[in-house]
Structure 1
Amino acid sequence: MTRLYPVGLIHYTNVAPILDDIELPDTVTAVRGVPTEMNAALLDGRVSFANISIIEFIRHADTLAALPDFSVAVLGAVYSVNLFHRRPWADLHGARIALTAQSAGSVALLEVLLRHSRLNVTLERAEGHARDLLDAGYDGVLRIGDSALREWYDAVGPIHDDVSVLDLPHQKDGLIVTDLAQKWFELTGHPFVFAVWAYRKDDPPPPELLRAMRMARRRGIGHLGDISARHAAKLGLPERVVQHYLWNFRYHLEAPDRLGLQEFADLAVPGHAPLTLANPDTLRP
């Protein structure tokens, strides 16, 4: 019997242009989950290929390689990786910050940004709506993904049609939403790569899967309006906001993204193993 190649998929809205309409080959079987679940599945061998948090790719660069032309990256604001807080960022010294367990990469980015600002804080695992956790006594709450996107809009909206999508708000009624990707851009001038499509070096993905992914990406980017409308209805958000959210993303791991990836690797994991960005065909026996 032919072995089915196990693939891990994370179905946040930010990968909708790649995954919404992908036609997986018959040789592939899919496992779905949140980033931390797919990180674990790739590292323990339950899947051989997945879009995973960038920090786990860096930490395990000795055993993992990444496709050289796929990423989930953004230059500037991302809107879905947010620290919610009421005190200004510079006044968060000594703060208690609630962390989601869904994303190791976003936690690592927050830690890098806090160290750069010389802010000593207490980080604690806690799940829940940002406002509820702030009301419960936390000074900051890290939220990611579709939930963070909705909570950002709930915090600063409604946003009317006469507001430029290049000037969307991040503060209202005493609640501050610090976009960590924007904070990274202000620090480095580089894009931030949230995820790569990584595979175990001893089990690279089959060519038919890569062809399917590239075809799906071309179709998805060419139909962002349709994808935005579909996901806006699911999220309960204005279509124009979701379309702006999606067209911000960089899905090809281009030269600026690689610079940002390398800088984050050096800051987050000093002394890490060299990062391997390689076409799987070059690693096949």
Structure 2
Amino acid sequence: MKIGEIRYANVYPIFYYLKKIKEYDFVRGTPSFLNKMIREGGVDVGVCSSIEYARNPGKYVIIPDISISSVGDVKSVCLFSSRKIENLENATVFLTEESGTSVVLLKILLKYYFNVKVSFTNNFDDSDAVLLIGDKALFSYYNNDYKYVYDLGFHWFQFSGYPFVFALWISDSKWEGTEDIKRLHKNLVNIKVDSQKNLAALLEEYSFKGLTSYQILDYWDIINYNLTEKHICGLIKFYKLAREIGEIKKFPPLNLSV
């Protein structure tokens, strides 16, 4: 079984333990790259952008009980700006190409929460504000690279009252009901619990240039790996709003099964 591995700090604790099982092959990449890989059959299972599932729900099965989420602050999905967000009306915002979910989330928050109209660009240098995710966002968050930082996890929670599910563990639907996927689900659930018990021990094999050990632990402590009823409610709200703004064609059925 080939598993897509996001190369960000947010999921390092999960993959640290998953790789110790020694029965899986891993393909590393950004969320957008891994979305393409699982869509085209390059990997069998992946922790993929939640918007990828919504755009191709017939191809996938959601592995229950685990995700990459935030309940409030996330720190690694942020809009960085030299101006307050209310002063970004008609401004130009750079959108990262590394993630689809965060781009859609930003568009939803700008429309329904901040009530600010902007234009988007893929030119980093010709922008008034930038959307960054993953380790790039985390570095800028902790190193005060910008005057104003808008944490999208925090603002989604203020807006909706629900956790935000950035990524789901999904598999190609052909794996549904197999012993392999059932075993992976069991392994992931166990790892989810065990990985939070001694985060400090992971620092012996992990470093992030530009962040202190305290900052890394602080970040790992806020990342949420659950997929509870409240997470599902947040996911449903996200999908409904994504459909309203034309980012998905229709609301996807949620197939949580192993």
1:7-36 per-residue CA deviation (whole Å, 9 max, x = no partner) reads 211131111221112246565322111100
Match of 1:62 in 2: 58
CA distance in 1, matches of 2:239, 2:202: 32
Where 1:20 maps in the other structure, the secondary structure is helix
Deviates most, 61-70 or 207-216: 207-216
Q: 1:12 touches 1:146 (CA, 8 Å); kept in 2?
A: yes
CA distance in 1, matches of 2:86, 2:56: 33
Aligned partner of 1:90 among 77, 86, 92: 86
Shift of 1:186: 1.2
Query: Are 1:43 and 2:32 counterparts?
Result: no
Q: 1:6 touches 1:47 (CA, 8 Å); kept in 2?
A: yes
TM-score w.r.t. structure 2 length? Answer: 0.89
Aligned partner of 1:212 among 175, 187, 207: 187
Count of aligned residue pairs for this structure pair: 249
Percent identity of paired positions between Structure 1 and Structure 2: 31
Distance 1:23 1:230, change over 3 A: closer
Where 2:64 maps in the other structure, the secondary structure is strand
- Superposition map of 1:173-188 within 5 A: 175-188=147-160
Aligned partner of 1:223 among 178, 198, 205: 198
Where 1:276 maps in the other structure, the secondary structure is coil
Distance 1:194 1:229, change over 3 A: farther
Query: Are 1:34 and 2:30 counterparts?
Result: yes
Query: Are 1:122 and 2:101 counterparts?
Result: no
Shift of 1:206: 3.0
Match of 1:266 in 2: 240
What one-letter code is carried by the residue in structure 2 that aligns with 1:193? V
Shift of 1:230: 4.8
Match of 2:247 in 1: none
Write out the 4+ residue segments of structure 1 that deviate beyond 6 Å after TM superposition.
Answer: none
1:232-275 per-residue CA deviation (whole Å, 9 max, x = no partner) reads x3233122222121111221201211111111011112432212
Q: 1:24 touches 1:212 (CA, 8 Å); kept in 2?
A: no
CA distance in 1, matches of 2:19, 2:143: 34
Distance 1:229 1:238, change over 3 A: farther
Match of 1:101 in 2: 97
Where does the alignment leave 5 or more consecutive residues of structure 1 unmatched? 127-132, 157-171, 281-285
Query: Are 1:143 and 2:135 counterparts?
Result: no
CA distance in 1, matches of 2:198, 2:7: 18
CA distance in 1, matches of 2:105, 2:30: 18
1:111-153 per-residue CA deviation (whole Å, 9 max, x = no partner) reads 1111113322111124xxxxxx4xx441110111011111111
Where does the alignment leave 5 or more consecutive residues of structure 2 unmatched? 245-249
Larger Rg over CA atoms: 1
Distance 1:24 1:38, change over 3 A: farther
CA RMSD in angstroms comes to 1.9
